[in-house]
């Protein structure tokens, strides 16, 4: 292991949850996470209607909460959008930006994802910038070109100091929700490429946390998190069950030891 960086495990609930069901999940995660060592950080990115509930149940615990998207605008006539500043009103720490589901279903361009990242940073949030290639792109050998373009569009808008405050999540589109995980060495190779790109932005940026996402489960998390440039995970399906999510958090702790 080449690094002293902290580990970070963030749940991405996507469009799941109900007030009645969230309470148990949030309290169980808060209780379980309290037993982790402090260089394992934990977050959950919930749908916006559940931010107040997350703040009420996670406030004072070690678990931070976040949103799954933010507007590129600070405010104004943008029906349906949520500004980063509004999330801040609910004590939010993390903002996922550029998730592949938003790039695909909402046609978010690399430039728009860059603008959202900048807005999140300016509001005081930690953006989790998602990058990833489709199966076709991987098979045609375009992985580095695709994720390089996605990351460059973000870094181009940020100062070195701002860039040092982002988290990057590598999520191969073919691994999300499919049960197909990238092999740990395959993921590590992409993370090493991303690490080099961050380093090019400046020495301070080289230690930005790099998460892997895409069918991370309790039984594969440990091996993934043991890779030198994988600093944790962005967890979809398995973040909806406290037992699985906490097992993944403990795998991050094991990888640190």
Residue numbers at the binding site for ligand PGA (CB under 6 A): 12, 171, 176-177, 213-216, 234-238
Write down the catalytic residue from 108, 133, 137, 171: 171
Q: Quote the CA–CA distance of 24 and 196 in Å, as a whole number.
A: 41
Q: At closest approach, how far in Å is the CB of 200 from ligand PGA?
A: 26
> If we measure between CA atoms, which residue out of 69, 169, 161 comes closest to residue 115?
69
Q: Quote the CA–CA distance of 186 and 179 in Å, as a whole number.
A: 16
**Pick 101 or 201: Cβ nearer ligand PGA:** 101
Write down the catalytic residue from 28, 99, 101, 161: 99
- Computed on alpha carbons and rounded to an integer, the radius of gyration of the chain in Å comes to 17
**Pick 73 or 241: Cβ nearer ligand PGA:** 241
- Of all residues in this chain, which one has the CB nearest to ligand PGA in the complex? 236
- Residue 80 sits at the vertex; the CA angle it makes with 76 and 81, to the nearest 5 degrees, is 60
Q: Quote the CA–CA distance of 102 and 88 in Å, as a whole number.
A: 21
**Pick 155 or 216: Cβ nearer ligand PGA:** 216
**Pick 33 or 248: Cβ nearer ligand PGA:** 248
Report the phi/psi class of residue 120: left, alpha or beta, with left for phi > 0 and alpha for psi in -120 to 50.
alpha
Q: At closest approach, how far in Å is the CB of 160 from ligand PGA?
A: 27
Q: At closest approach, how far in Å is the CB of 79 from ligand PGA?
A: 26
Q: At closest approach, how far in Å is the CB of 167 from ligand PGA?
A: 13
73 is catalytic: no
DSSP class of residue 6 equals: P
106 is catalytic: no
- Kindly report the number of other CB atoms within 10 A of residue 65's CB atom: 27
Report the catalytic residues: 99, 171
């Amino acid at each position: 292991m080449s690094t002293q960086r902290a580990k970070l495990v963030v749940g991405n609930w996507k469009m799941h949850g109900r007030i009645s069901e969230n309470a148990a999940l949030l309290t169980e995660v808060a209780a379980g996470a309290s037993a982790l060592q402090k260089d394992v950080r934990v977050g959950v990115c919930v749908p916006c209607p559940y931010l107040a509930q997350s703040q009420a149940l996670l406030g004072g615990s070690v678990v931070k909460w976040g949103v799954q998207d933010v507007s590129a605008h600070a405010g104004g006539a943008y029906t349906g959008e949520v500004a980063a500043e509004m999330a801040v009103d609910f004590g939010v720490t993390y903002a996922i930006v550029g998730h592949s589901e938003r790039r695909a279903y909402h046609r978010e361009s690399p430039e728009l994802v860059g603008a959202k990242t900048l807005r999140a940073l300016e509001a005081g949030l930690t953006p989790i910038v998602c990058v990833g290639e489709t199966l076709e792109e991987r098979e045609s050998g375009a992985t580095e070109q695709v994720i390089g373009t996605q990351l460059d569009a973000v870094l181009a808008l940020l100062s070195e100091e701002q860039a040092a405050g982002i988290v990057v999540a590598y999520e191969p589109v073919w691994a999300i929700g499919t049960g197909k995980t990238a092999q740990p060495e395959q993921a590590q190779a992409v993370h090493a490429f991303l690490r080099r790109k961050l380093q090019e932005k400046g020495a301070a940026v080289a230690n930005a946390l790099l998460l892997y996402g895409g069918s991370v489960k309790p039984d594969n998390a440990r091996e993934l998190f043991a890779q030198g440039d994988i600093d944790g995970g962005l967890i979809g399906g398995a973040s909806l069950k406290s037992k699985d999510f906490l097992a993944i958090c403990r795998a991050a702790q094991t990888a640190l030891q």
